[in-house]
């Protein structure tokens, strides 16, 4: 049985809708300590899976208005820190972890050493994320190098079908697998849109106040590396002040036709 086919079958049967394979050669130039072979010396490939976020949880501004139970001054905080964080973050992450475990064990049974990370730092490890502002291995870079999207102005992976509304996880393995092709066409609308920059109340996406043409030249080149950066401290502060977590996902028009 073809290993790629077996991995895809498990991935899709368990609820993920995106699957890609990036050979380690595509990670040339990765920062020291963050290349796949810094974690697995004989790594050959990185398997990337993606689970879309249920889009209804993103559009919560008017939910529960006039509730006799939840005071208006607490409504947005509740919707962000309980409803959104659970439904669009932790539950999706848990599904990614479960699928990643199944894929890792499948590869291990075939004699291929394999490892995976959690999709992001969980609550017990928030202090490390706040300190370093990045995870040990970048699932965003892996997703782009597996052909699942490109970096957008929002500093997120923009997938042609789902836009940025996807969470990803990566499995590093010694297995010989067939690489999936890189994206061939741009997905981020760039300076003709820029809703993610305009919609960030905390101006946490670096350069949001700089002319857009300096962010992303519209040169029909798929962006395999970020064209902007996110100030994580400003982002967290913005979430605390404006309860805007996920707004950069919600305003992106790419993939919206899925719901039409």
| Predicted pLDDT at 260 | 43
At 184-236, the pLDDT tens digits run: 988 998 878 889 998 999 999 875 444 444 444 445 578 889 888 888 889 98
| Of residues 1, 9, 10, the one with CA closest to residue 102 | 10
**Mean pLDDT for the chain overall:** 88
The arithmetic mean of pLDDT across residues 169-197, rounded, is 93
Beta strand pairing status for 114-116 and 166-173?
Answer: antiparallel
Within 10 Å of residue 212's Cβ, how many Cβ atoms? 17
At 124-163, the pLDDT tens digits run: 555 666 666 667 899 999 999 999 999 999 999 999 999 9
β-pair partners for 197: none
Task: Give the largest CA-CA distance in the chain.
Answer: 59
pLDDT at residue 93 greater than cutoff 60: yes
3-state secondary structure the chain: CCHHHHHHHHHHHCCCCEEEEEEHHHHCCCCCCCCHHHCCCCCCEEEEEEEECCHHHHCCCCCCCCCCCCCHHHHHHHHHHHHHHHHHHHHHHHHHHHHHHHHHHHHHHCCCCEEECCCCCCHHHHHHHHHHCCCCCCHHHHHHHCCCCEECCCCCEEECCCECCEEEEEEEECCCCCCCCCCCCCCCCHHHCCHHHHCCCCCCECCCCCCHHHCCCCCCCCCCCCCCCECHHHHHHHHHHHCCCCHHHHCCCCCHHHHC
| Predicted pLDDT at 206 | 73
């Amino acid at each position: 049985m073809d290993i790629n086919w077996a991995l895809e079958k498990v991935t899709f049967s368990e609820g993920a809708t995106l699957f890609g394979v990036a050979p380690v050669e595509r990670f040339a130039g990765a920062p020291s300590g963050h290349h796949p072979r810094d974690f697995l010396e004989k790594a050959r490939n990185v398997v990337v899976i993606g689970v879309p976020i249920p889009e209804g949880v993103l559009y919560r501004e008017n939910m529960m208005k006039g509730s006799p139970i939840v005071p208006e001054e607490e409504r947005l905080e509740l919707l962000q820190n309980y409803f959104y964080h659970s439904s669009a973050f932790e539950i999706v992450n848990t599904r990614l972890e479960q699928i990643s475990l199944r894929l890792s064990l499948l590869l291990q049974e075939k004699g291929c050493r394999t490892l995976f990370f959690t999709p992001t730092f969980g609550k017990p490890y928030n202090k490390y994320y706040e300190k370093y502002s990045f995870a040990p291995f970048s699932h965003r870079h892996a997703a782009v190098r597996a052909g699942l999207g490109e970096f957008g102005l929002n500093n997120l992976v923009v997938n042609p079908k789902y836009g940025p509304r996807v969470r990803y996880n990566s499995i590093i393995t010694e297995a010989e697998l067939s690489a999936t092709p890189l994206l061939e066409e741009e997905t981020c609308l760039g300076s003709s849109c820029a809703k993610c920059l305009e919609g960030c109340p905390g101006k946490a996406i670096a350069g949001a106040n700089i002319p857009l043409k300096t962010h992303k030249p519209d040169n029909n080149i798929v962006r395999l590396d970020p064209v902007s950066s996110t100030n994580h401290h400003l982002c967290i502060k913005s979430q605390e002040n404006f309860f805007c977590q996920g707004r950069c996902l919600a305003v992106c028009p790419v993939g919206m036709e899925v719901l039409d």
